[in-house]
A and B are shown apart, each in its own frame.
Chain A
Amino acid sequence: QSALTQPASVSGSPGQSITISCTGTSSDVGGYNYVSWYQQHPGKAPKFMIFDVSNRPSGVSNRFSGSKSGNTASLTISGLQAEDEAFYYCSSYTGYNWVFGGGTKLTVL
């Protein structure tokens, strides 16, 4: 059982926006602004998408954005594209280790 809770699946049509939630506790998500998000296509390594809750690494589309409220972080993808279909994982630093969510399968209809 993963430390951070994500919905198992979300879906949206091309061009729409979706949001994936990531719920933790005051010891991880709520206690630090070190939430990050990763995209993973089947059989591939995760790809770095968001760090420090809402910052995008260079090269990541501005269609991806992150936010946090209390113990819940969120990833929003706007203008959905077919290539966005993948698994998405959140992660948080806890002060002494790192924890991940169980992952959310995004389906682009």
Chain B
Amino acid sequence: QVQLVQSGAEVKRPGASVKVSCKASGYTFTSQNMHWVRQAPGQGPEWMGIINPSGGSPTYEQKLQGRVTVTRDTSTSTVYMELSSLTSEDTAVYYCARDSGRHSFDHWGQGTLVIVSS
């Protein structure tokens, strides 16, 4: 069965960076794109970016361009999301989510809580 297992919660100071991992199993890692989506407390989800694990450049949400970097390691079937210059507005649960092949998100990681606080 498809599983996406993410790294644990993080607490960061404003201005710092955070890197979250997402290890995929149960399917061919390179066959499906992977998204990153975040959800601030009490808010709807917000799409952050997408990567094709087979290669090619990731695509990012315009408002995050320059602060977010999504990478992948095919040897470990892991996708990473790094967000820099953190502010309190980046406090959220961050999810990796597999693309269904139909522009939707069919499997989600368990989420990683990132708290930005001084």
Q: Which of B84-116 contact A (CB under 8 A)?
A: 95, 97, 100, 102-111
A93: which B residues are within 8 A, CB to CB?
103-104
* Interface positions of A (Cβ within 8 A of B): 2, 6, 32, 34, 36, 38, 45-48, 51-52, 55, 57, 89, 91, 93, 96-103
Could you count the A-B residue pairs with CB atoms below 8 Å apart for me: how many are there?
A: 67
User: Which residue of A34, A57, A96, A103 contacts B106 across the interface (Cβ within 8 Å)?
Assistant: A57
Q: Does B56 contact A (CB under 8 A)?
A: no
Whether B45 lies near A48 (C-beta < 8 A) is no
Whether B104 lies near A51 (C-beta < 8 A) is yes
Whether A46 lies near B108 (C-beta < 8 A) is yes
Q: Does B10 contact A (CB under 8 A)?
A: no
A38: which B residues are within 8 A, CB to CB?
45, 105
- Further 12 A-B residue pairs, CB within 8 A, beyond A34-B104, A98-B35: A32-B103, A36-B105, A45-B95, A51-B100, A51-B104, A51-B106, A52-B102, A57-B100, A91-B105, A97-B62, A100-B47, A102-B44
Q: Which residue of A lies closest to B60 (CB)?
A: A97
With A34-B103, A46-B105 given, is the CB distance from A98 to B111 under 8 Å?
Answer: no
Whether A99 lies near B47 (C-beta < 8 A) is yes
Whether A45 lies near B104 (C-beta < 8 A) is no
Q: Does B73 contact A (CB under 8 A)?
A: no
